[in-house]
Every structure is written in C-alpha cells, then in structure tokens.
C-alpha cells in the first residue's frame, strides 16, 4: 500500500531567474537612443574651463562619442570629432596653433568650428578645402565649466543661467568640486565613475539611504560636511539617527523642472528641518544647502562624470568633502576599510555597471525615485513626439532658471 506524503515546496529560489534587464529609454545615452536624444537637447558640461589649456588637445568622451577639445592660441575653445576627416587619425596627436588644430598625419588644420584652413600637401594649400569641415559641436563656458551642445543644430537652446548662481557678492565665487564624495580624483584626463549615470542620479532622490547607509551602517559619514556640522552637545545623536517610519514622512512633488523630495531631519539645537533635494530633467540635481548644482554627465552607458558647483566665499575650502574615514581619503582606503564603512560609491557601483530594473522592488520609500523616472520618461516622449523638453530656453534674454529646492526649509513651514 502506497502512502502519499505532501511535500512542502518552498519557492522563490534563484533558479530560473531571468537575465538582468533595464529600461533602455532611461539608461542608454548613445546617438539615436531615446535618453541620448533627450540629453542632446541640453548643454552638457564636459570639462573644467581652466583645465582646457592651449598647450595640447584634450580627450573628451561624452554621451558615447569620442571628441577632442582644444583651445587655440587666441583662447577660443573648440570641440571636434576625434578622428580627422581626411584619413581618420586621432586629433589627440594633433598640434594646437594660433587659429586651430593641425592633424599629425598630413597636417590638415581645422578651426574651432571645424572649418579646414590648410591642407599642406595639396596645391595652394588645398583649393577645395572650404568644402571640408571636421564634424564639430558648439561650446560655451560659464560658471567655470565648458559645455557642449550635441543636439540638432536647429534646436540649440541658450546656455541656461541659474538664479541661485547669479549676482555673486564681491567676495564670492563658484567653486567646482569633483566626484569627491565618490572618491575619484580631479586630475586630467578625468577619471569617470564606471557605472551607469542613472544609478547615481537617482541617489539624489533616495532619502531612506541617508540614515541607514550613512549613519547606522557606516558610522556618521556626514559629520564632516558643512551642512551637518553640529557643535552643540544637547543631543549626541547625529542628525540622521532617526529612520523608523521615514518612508511615510517623505514629501515628494513635481516641480517645474523635475522632482523635489524632502525628509524631516532633526538638527540638534536648531530644530527640525526639511532636507530638500531636487532632481531636474535630464541629469542635474541640487542637494539641500550642500550642493548648488550637480551634473551627472555620461561618458558612455557605463561611465559618467560628476561636476559639482558650489557658491563659495573667498578662502572657503571644501577639503572635508574628501575626508571620509580612518583618516584617509576615499581612494586611500583598503578593501577591508571600504567593507567596514561603505558609502555612496560602494552602494551605487555594486548595483552593477548597468542597473537590473527587472530585479527591483520599489517601495514606499522610493516614491521620489518613481516620480523621477516618470518625469524622465515624459521628457523622452516629448522629444520623440516633436515637443521641446522641459527647461530648454531659446530666447537670448531668457530669465535664469529657478530651482524648486535649495536651502533647508524649516519642517513646519514646508509641511
Ligand atoms: S589624416 Fe589627418 S591630415 Fe590626413
Ligand atoms: Fe548618500
């Protein structure tokens, strides 16, 4: 006689897990991709202006394209396709001259708009040279950064001004900070972060990670930063010591340019504030009163640069952006020290070089991330359907753009 025993089957194993996949329209940035076309409708910073000297050409990788920046001896800035339009040598090996850049192979010379000025081996320096143009992009400089416009020429907007970066006092300037929270160096050629730009951009809309990662898991990583320096001893707990039910307290809303989110944050001796960030379409953020503008500029689908602008007083330094743990800067820490005190870099880069959106389970605490993704998807659709995306301005006298969140706002006022 056979006895049937009911076997309990515990499911949910990793067996048969589908391969990783991501939302292509949010992640990929090459020419012709949905996000790549959205990003190409905005001016994108690619270098710190003062690094672009006239001594030599500079390699630039931007939105999946290989480019060469050069400043001619008259100080004009150019950005051209890397490979010479004659027979393809890299202009990285070129020579910068008074009025342009000369290719190493046969000496063709191009000006900052790609016009061919000389073809030494041709009769009369090239009788047809006026018909030849090295592919180029418009560039402009502002706030200490060099920006490129890589989109359709007829859609070129004005390079925006930002209200909170205008009208500097006499003793003020705009400080450029670099990838510092993530611990890469500000040397040229710039070291990108080797994972997808969106993983870092979305972090600006991620409140629950503040108390968890930066305090409970990894000790108080933020005490060195100006925003959170607390001198009073009335409360020994760091500002982010609270986390219980945080998800229910997050305030998230659409703004004119993107998404704003905030979370109540007690600052000992000063009261409860709303730590308020804004992420703007397509790749710009403002982080409370800590960071005035933060660009997440993709070099490729799996690498990006992080340019940070901060209004600063004369003599004000921001070394504490680099001071992390164990008395070391981020890049000096050992593997074991990184494991003992992981920060933004470890959390974001370990997602993978590209995200796995199909593995995620967004929850209530991710409300602002969901909103940001929707906002980006809408802007992608705007471009696909022939509309101008949010925030682009075409009038030469367009007013400075206004952000929806900048300083910390007292919680009671903001609620
Ligand atoms: S390949 Fe550049 S001049 Fe010939
Ligand atoms: Fe963080």
Query: pTM surpassing 0.75?
Result: yes
Q: Is residue 15 part of a domain?
A: no
| 174 Cα: distance to centroid of ligand 1 (angstroms) | 40
Q: What is the pLDDT of residue 193?
A: 86
Q: Is residue 36 part of a domain?
A: no
| 109 Cα: distance to centroid of ligand 1 (angstroms) | 9
Q: Is residue 30 part of a domain?
A: no
Joined tokens for residue 208: 């629950």
Q: Are 391 and 257 in contact (CB under 8 A)?
A: yes
Same domain membership, residue 406 and residue 346? yes
| 60 Cα: distance to centroid of ligand 1 (angstroms) | 19
Pocket test for ligand 1, best of 57, 68, 87, 121 (most atoms within 8 A of CB): 87
| 201 Cα: distance to centroid of ligand 1 (angstroms) | 40
Query: What is the SS3 assignment for 104-151?
Result: CCCCCEECCCCEEEECCCCHHHCCCHHHCECCEECEEEECCEEEECCC
Same domain membership, residue 235 and residue 108? no
Residue nearest to atom 3 of ligand 1 (CA): 106
CATH number for the domain including 208? 3.90.380
| 83 Cα: distance to centroid of ligand 1 (angstroms) | 9
Q: Is residue 151 part of a domain?
A: no
| 89 Cα: distance to centroid of ligand 1 (angstroms) | 6
Q: What is the pLDDT of residue 210?
A: 81
Same domain membership, residue 245 and residue 335? yes
Domain count, the chain: 2
Same domain membership, residue 178 and residue 135? no
Q: What is the pLDDT of residue 319?
A: 57
Q: Tell me the pLDDT tens digit for each residue of 98-140.
A: 999 999 999 999 999 999 999 999 999 999 999 999 999 999 9
Q: Is residue 19 part of a domain?
A: no
Q: Tell me the pLDDT tens digit for each residue of 52-93.
A: 999 999 999 999 999 999 999 999 999 999 999 999 999 999
Same domain membership, residue 205 and residue 277? yes
| 107 Cα: distance to centroid of ligand 1 (angstroms) | 6
Same domain membership, residue 260 and residue 361? yes
CA torsion, points 325, 330, 335, 339, in degrees to nearest 10?
50
| 205 Cα: distance to centroid of ligand 1 (angstroms) | 47
Mean pLDDT, contiguous 10-residue spans, the chain (415 residues) = 78 96 98 98 95 94 97 98 98 98 98 98 95 97 97 98 94 80 51 92 90 76 49 47 74 90 69 79 88 93 92 76 64 86 90 98 95 98 98 96 65 42
Position in ligand 1 atom list of the atom nearest CA 91: 2
* End position of a domain, from candidates 70, 105, 140: 140
Q: Which protein residues touch ligand 1 with a CB less than 6 Å away?
A: 84, 86-89, 103, 105-108
Residue nearest to atom 1 of ligand 1 (CA): 87
Q: Is residue 31 part of a domain?
A: no
Position in ligand 1 atom list of the atom nearest CA 106: 3
* End position of a domain, from candidates 106, 140, 174: 140
* Domain carrying residue 112: 41-140
Pocket test for ligand 1, best of 83, 108, 117, 120 (most atoms within 8 A of CB): 108
Q: Is residue 63 part of a domain?
A: yes
Same domain membership, residue 166 and residue 122? no
Q: How many CA atoms lie within 13 A of 232 on its CB side?
A: 11
**Residue keyed to tokens 């090459």:** 30
* End position of a domain, from candidates 140, 175, 201: 140
Same domain membership, residue 164 and residue 290? yes
Same domain membership, residue 195 and residue 77? no
The distance from CA 127 to its chain's CA centroid, rounded to whole angstroms, is 44
| 3-class secondary structure, 254 | strand
Same domain membership, residue 207 and residue 275? yes
Q: Tell me the pLDDT tens digit for each residue of 384-415.
A: 999 999 999 999 999 999 887 654 454 444 43
**Exposed e or buried b for every residue in 162-191, given b needs 16+ CB within 10 A?**
bebbeeeeeeebbbbbbbbbbbbeeeeebb
Rounded Cα distance between 346 and 247, Å, is 23
What ligand has the least distance to the C-alpha of 102?
A: 1
Q: Cis omega before residue 189 (within 30°)? A: yes
Same domain membership, residue 261 and residue 120? no
Q: Is residue 14 part of a domain?
A: no
Pocket test for ligand 1, best of 80, 81, 82, 89 (most atoms within 8 A of CB): 89
Same domain membership, residue 285 and residue 232? yes
CATH number for the domain including 63? 2.102.10.10
Position in ligand 1 atom list of the atom nearest CA 119: 3
> How many other CB atoms are found less than 10 A from the CB of residue 224?
15
Rounded Cα distance between 50 and 68, Å, is 16
From 29, 330, 26, 313, select the one nearest 173 (Cα to Cα): 313
Position in ligand 1 atom list of the atom nearest CA 89: 1
């Amino acid at each position: 006689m056979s006895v049937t025993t009911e076997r309990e089957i515990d499911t949910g194993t990793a067996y048969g897990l589908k391969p990783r996949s991501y939302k292509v329209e949010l992640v990929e940035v090459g020419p012709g991709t949905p996000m790549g076309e959205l990003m190409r409708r905005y001016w994108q910073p690619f270098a710190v202006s003062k690094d672009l000297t006239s001594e030599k050409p500079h390699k630039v990788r931007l939105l999946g394209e290989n480019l060469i920046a050069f400043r001619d001896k008259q100080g004009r800035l150019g950005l051209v396709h890397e490979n010479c339009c004659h027979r393809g040598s890299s202009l990285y090996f070129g020579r910068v001259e008074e009025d342009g850049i000369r290719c190493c192979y046969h000496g063709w010379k191009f000006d900052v708009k790609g016009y061919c000025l000389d073809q030494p081996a041709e009769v009369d320096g090239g009788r047809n040279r006026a018909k030849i143009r090295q592919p180029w992009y418009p560039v402009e400089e502002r706030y200490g950064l060099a920006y490129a416009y890589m989109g359709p020429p007829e859609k070129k907007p004005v390079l925006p001004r930002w209200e909170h970066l205008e009208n500097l006092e006499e003793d003020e300037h705009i400080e450029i900070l670099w990838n510092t929270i993530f611990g890469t160096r500000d040397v040229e050629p710039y070291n990108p972060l080797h994972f997808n730009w969106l993983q870092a951009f979305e972090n600006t809309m991620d409140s629950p990670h503040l108390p968890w990662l930066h305090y409970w898991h990894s000790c108080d990583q933020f005490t060195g930063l100006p925003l959170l320096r607390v001198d009073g001893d009335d409360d020994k707990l760091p500002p982010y010591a609270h986390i219980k039910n945080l998800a229910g307290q997050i305030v998230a809303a659409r703004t004119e340019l993107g998404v704003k989110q905030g979370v109540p944050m007690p600052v000992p001796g000063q009261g409860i504030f709303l730590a308020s960030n804004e992420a703007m379409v397509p790749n710009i953020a403002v982080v409370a009163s800590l960071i005035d503008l933060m660009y997440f500029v993709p070099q490729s689908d799996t690498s990006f640069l992080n340019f940070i602008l901060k209004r600063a007083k004369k003599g004000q330094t921001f070394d504490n952006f680099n001071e992390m743990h164990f008395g070391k800067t981020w890049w000096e820490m050992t593997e074991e020290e990184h494991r003992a005190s992981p920060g933004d870099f470890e959390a974001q880069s370990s997602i993978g070089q590209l995200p796995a959106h199909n593995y995620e389970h967004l929850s209530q605490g991710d409300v602002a991330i969901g909103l940001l993704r929707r906002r980006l998807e809408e802007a992608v659709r705007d471009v696909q359907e022939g509309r101008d995306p949010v925030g682009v301005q075409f009038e030469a006298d367009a007013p400075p753009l206004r952000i929806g969140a900048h300083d910390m706002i007292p919680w009671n006022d903001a609620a």
